[in-house]
């Protein structure tokens, strides 16, 4: 900060010196331009009547030179750039003279009498003042701009004078408040925060019994579950000011700036008490402090130290509640989580089916709906969706309805929006050859058949060979209910289904025609098999032991990346067990598809004709006995489509 201030003063100083150096030079030039005639006063007492009498004629300068060369000029009076004189015949003349250094010698050679007259206006004094003022104006403008910009940045917390001020944003008091009515699907989290809201409304209820409200509340959970919205609802429910600031706003390249911003934030909060201070993504500043190896001084460590001091330095009875949110509670410093700082930790999980129904009803309040829309059915069809996913689903459905010119949002738009969120947008513009389409059809048909017939797999939802997102085709299964744990048979069924596509390509076209389309299937199957061996204890040879480091949750970004601290022998056994699980899953898929090659061919041909099939359509198609081969089954499928209400069997809209 001092360096910036010195550099600004230096710029102003250089401009001032340049201006002062320019003024004398300009004055000297003005003196030179003011008229060499002033310095040529040959006789102050000479008769200058020629300059005072009106001339008889005005001639050009070239004619004046010709007359001088012909000795037709008797005398002249020179004043600035004007020359007046008398010719030999007595006529008076005048002419305008440019700067000509040879004029005076020429007149003297022809014995012309020369008189120099002063101008009525002092050119030297007036020119110097004008040049000085003109030279000073840029300096005044630069200095004024610097002062104005620094004051403006200081008010907004930036610039040289405000770089240490907190960047907290206070929610406008005139804006509609967010309350618990706008939050749904996280009843347990609301209950945990209701006590804090009650304290902010009626603190005397707790103070009379000696109770103290928690100073801080830490909200943890997967992204999109409503942690920020819950904090705003808590402040809106209590009717107190709400300050919001990101954890990364405390981190700056200048030493001490983060700590100063922490002090400034708590000073603002104390002035506005009772209030709620929300720090989003607190892991940006609250990570484990370094050990100081090498004598370094981490600015983030100093900022965290100041945050710990401030949270210890104010009394909970002041009514300042610190609420923080993070997806990474495992990386936070233990000193930040101890009682007396963040006393209460609230987990905000993904909503269950009842919570999703409530969330959908909140987001559908301001959307005109068709009579066929049932939030309960849509909630059952969106397992695993977070609150942000459901809000995005409703918005996409509204956009699809508006794009088609509909007056209301129907179930068709909601289902199409769900497919877009789950599978990605359709890429119908992608040019695929007939062979590529056929390979994709067999690949997805293999996935679908294994998902249908392997015990323990989730029900088949939809199969499409229309490119969506980064995939050329998609086979999707949805659980019938919310799942909080998976059995071993279900994991093995998932691995078998992942290899159904690759095996189907091999059975249909041979080993030499297998494509790279199964690369992501192999990656996911390998990760799942490794976790079965190293985390879930599903290996008889290794037993129920954990061989992966850390206790990280998948939603924290650590899934599949854990290191193994084991011996070489154990690592070799782990690799063998992973290979065994993978090979068993592939063999299971190969046996099933080999026994059902007719159904594989039938389903692939149906996908080539219809592009998208739902799980119900596939089950209806494969339940028909083979009578006449492919054409008979596809004809029956087409007949079934005509008997089903419109929109039920259409391809998903993108």
Render pLDDT for 73-102 as a digit per residue (tens, 0 to 9).
888 888 877 888 888 888 888 888 887 778
Q: What percent of the chain is predicted at pLDDT more than 70? A: 75
User: Residue 28 is encoded by which pair of tokens?
Assistant: 């000297």
Distance, CA of 630 to CA of 269 (rounded, Å): 73
Question: 500-509 vs 568-595: helix axis angle to the nearest 10?
Answer: 50
Torsion of CA 448, 450, 454, 457, to 10 degrees: -50
What three-state secondary structure class fits 324? strand
- 8 A C-beta contact, residue 608 and residue 465: yes
Backbone phi and psi for residue 404, each to the nearest 5 degrees, phi listed first:
-85, 0
With a cut of 80, say whether residue 26 has pLDDT above it. Answer: no
Predicted confidence band at 36 (pLDDT cuts at 50, 70, 90)?
A: very low
Nearest of 232, 225, 162, 173 to residue 5 by alpha carbon: 162
Lowest mean pLDDT among 205-219, 361-375, 584-598: 205-219
Predicted confidence band at 52 (pLDDT cuts at 50, 70, 90)?
A: low
Tell the residue number behind the tokens 């406008």, with chain if given: 172
What three-state secondary structure class fits 264? helix
Nearest of 331, 316, 319 to residue 283 by alpha carbon: 331
1-25: pLDDT as tens digits: 444 444 454 444 545 555 554 444 4
Would you state the pLDDT for residue 145?
82
461-481: pLDDT as tens digits: 889 998 887 788 889 888 877
The per-residue pLDDT of the chain, averaged, comes to 77
Q: Higher model confidence: residue 189 or residue 503? A: 503
Backbone phi and psi for residue 405, each to the nearest 5 degrees, phi listed first:
80, 15
437 burial via Cβ count (<10 Å: 0-12, 13-18, 19+): middle
Would you state the pLDDT for residue 578?
95
With a cut of 90, say whether residue 266 has pLDDT above it. Answer: no
For 337, left (φ over 0), alpha (ψ -120 to 50), or beta? alpha
Q: Sheet with 275-280: list strands edge to edge.
A: 169-170, 242-246, 275-280, 320-326, 216-220, 344-347
Would you state the pLDDT for residue 533?
94
Predicted confidence band at 154 (pLDDT cuts at 50, 70, 90)?
A: low
Q: Report the range out of 49-53, 179-183, 457-461 with the highest average pLDDT.
A: 457-461
Would you state the pLDDT for residue 128?
65
Report, as an integer, the average pLDDT of 436-448.
Answer: 93
Predicted confidence band at 168 (pLDDT cuts at 50, 70, 90)?
A: low
CA dist 214 → 89, 206, 306, 324 (Å): 113, 12, 19, 13
Would you state the pLDDT for residue 165?
52
Distance, CA of 61 to CA of 75 (rounded, Å): 16
331-364: pLDDT as tens digits: 888 888 888 788 888 888 888 888 889 899 989 9
Distance, CA of 124 to CA of 370 (rounded, Å): 88
Would you state the pLDDT for residue 450?
94
Distance, CA of 265 to CA of 462 (rounded, Å): 52
Would you state the pLDDT for residue 652?
34
Would you state the pLDDT for residue 1?
41
Report, as an integer, the average pLDDT of 131-143.
Answer: 79
Report, as an integer, the average pLDDT of 384-409.
Answer: 91
540 part of the active site: no
Q: Which of 444, 505, 605, 611 is an active site residue? A: 444
262-269 long-range CB contacts below 8 Å, 24 or more apart?
A: 262/166, 262/303, 262/306, 262/307, 262/310, 263/306, 263/310, 264/164, 264/165, 264/166, 265/166, 265/168, 266/310, 266/313, 266/314, 266/320, 268/166, 268/168, 268/243, 269/243, 269/320
Predicted confidence band at 527 (pLDDT cuts at 50, 70, 90)?
A: very high
With a cut of 80, say whether residue 174 has pLDDT above it. Answer: no
With a cut of 90, say whether residue 592 has pLDDT above it. Answer: yes
Distance, CA of 449 to CA of 444 (rounded, Å): 9
Would you state the pLDDT for residue 108?
85
Distance, CA of 633 to CA of 605 (rounded, Å): 10
Q: What is the pTM (predicted TM-score) of this model?
A: 0.63
How much is the CA Rg of the chain, to the nearest whole Å? 44
Backbone phi and psi for residue 89, each to the nearest 5 degrees, phi listed first:
-90, 5
Would you state the pLDDT for residue 588?
95
- 8 A C-beta contact, residue 276 and residue 171: no
Predicted confidence band at 189 (pLDDT cuts at 50, 70, 90)?
A: confident
Q: Higher model confidence: residue 263 or residue 251? A: 263
């Amino acid at each position: 900060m001092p360096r910036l201030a010195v550099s600004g003063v230096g710029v102003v100083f250089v401009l001032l010196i340049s201006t002062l150096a320019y003024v004398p030079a300009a004055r000297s030039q003005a003196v030179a331009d003011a008229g060499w005639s002033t310095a040529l006063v040959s006789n102050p007492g000479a008769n200058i009547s020629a300059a005072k009498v009106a001339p008889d004629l005005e001639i050009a300068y070239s004619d004046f030179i010709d007359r001088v060369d012909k000795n037709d000029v008797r005398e002249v009076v020179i004043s600035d750039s004007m020359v007046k004189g008398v010719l030999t015949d007595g006529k008076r003349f005048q002419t305008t003279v440019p700067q000509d250094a040879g004029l005076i010698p020429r007149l003297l050679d022809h014995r012309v009498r020369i008189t120099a007259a002063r101008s009525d206006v002092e050119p030297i004094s007036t020119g110097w003042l004008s040049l000085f003022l003109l030279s000073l104006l840029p300096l005044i403008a630069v200095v004024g701009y610097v002062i104005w910009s620094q004051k403006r940045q200081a008010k907004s917390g930036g610039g040289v004078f405000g770089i240490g001020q907190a960047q907290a944003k206070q929610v406008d008091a005139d804006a509609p408040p967010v309350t618990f009515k706008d939050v749904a699907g996280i009843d347990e989290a609301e209950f945990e925060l209701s006590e804090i809201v009650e304290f902010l409304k009626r603190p005397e209820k707790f103070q009379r019994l000696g109770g103290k409200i928690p100073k801080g509340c830490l909200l943890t959970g997967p992204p999109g579950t409503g942690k920020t919205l819950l904090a705003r609802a808590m402040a809106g429910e209590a009717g107190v000011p709400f300050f919001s600031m990101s954890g990364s706003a405390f981190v700056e390249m200048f030493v001490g700036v983060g700590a100063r911003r922490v002090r400034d934030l708590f000073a603002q909060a104390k002035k506005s008490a009772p209030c709620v201070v929300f720090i989003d993504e607190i892991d940006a500043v609250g990570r484990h402090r370094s050990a100081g190896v090498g004598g370094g001084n981490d600015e983030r460590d100093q900022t965290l130290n100041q945050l710990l001091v401030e949270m210890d330095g104010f009394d909970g009875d002041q009514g300042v509640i610190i609420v923080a949110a993070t997806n990474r509670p495992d990386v936070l410093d233990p000193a930040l989580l101890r009682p007396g700082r963040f006393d209460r930790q609230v987990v905000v999980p993904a909503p269950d089916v009842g919570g999703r129904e409530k969330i959908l009803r909140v987001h559908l309040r301001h959307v005109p709906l068709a009579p066929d829309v049932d939030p309960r059915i849509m909630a059952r069809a969106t397992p695993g969706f977070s609150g942000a996913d459901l809000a995005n689903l409703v918005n996409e459905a509204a956009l699809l309805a508006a794009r088609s010119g509909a007056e209301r949002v129907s179930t068709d738009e909601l289902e199409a929006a769900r497919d877009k969120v789950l599978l990605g947008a359709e890429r119908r513009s992608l040019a695929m050859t007939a062979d590529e389409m056929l390979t994709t059809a067999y690949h997805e048909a293999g996935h679908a058949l294994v998902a249908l017939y392997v015990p323990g797999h989730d029900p088949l939802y939809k199969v499409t060979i229309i490119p969506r997102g980064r995939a050329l085709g998609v086979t999707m299964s949805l659980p019938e209910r919310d799942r909080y744990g998976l059995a071993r048979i279900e994991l093995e069924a998932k691995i078998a289904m992942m290899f159904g596509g690759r095996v189907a390509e091999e059975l249909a076209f041979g080993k030499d025609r297998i494509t790279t389309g199964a690369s992501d299937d192999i990656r996911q199957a390998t990760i799942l098999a490794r976790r079965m061996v190293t985390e879930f204890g599903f290996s008889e040879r290794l037993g129920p032991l954990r061989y992966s480091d850390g206790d990280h949750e998948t939603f924290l970004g650590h899934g599949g990346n854990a290191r193994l601290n084991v011996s070489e022998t154990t690592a070799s056994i782990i690799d063998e067990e992973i290979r065994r699980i993978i090979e068993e899953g592939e063999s299971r898929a190969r046996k099933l598809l080999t026994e059902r090659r007719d159904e594989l061919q039938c389903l692939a041909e149906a996908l080539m004709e219809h592009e998208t099939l739902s799980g119900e359509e596939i089950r209806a198609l494969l339940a028909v006995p083979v009578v006449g081969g492919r054409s008979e089954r596809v004809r029956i499928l087409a007949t079934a489509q005509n008997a089903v209400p419109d929109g039920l069997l259409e391809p998903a809209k993108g």
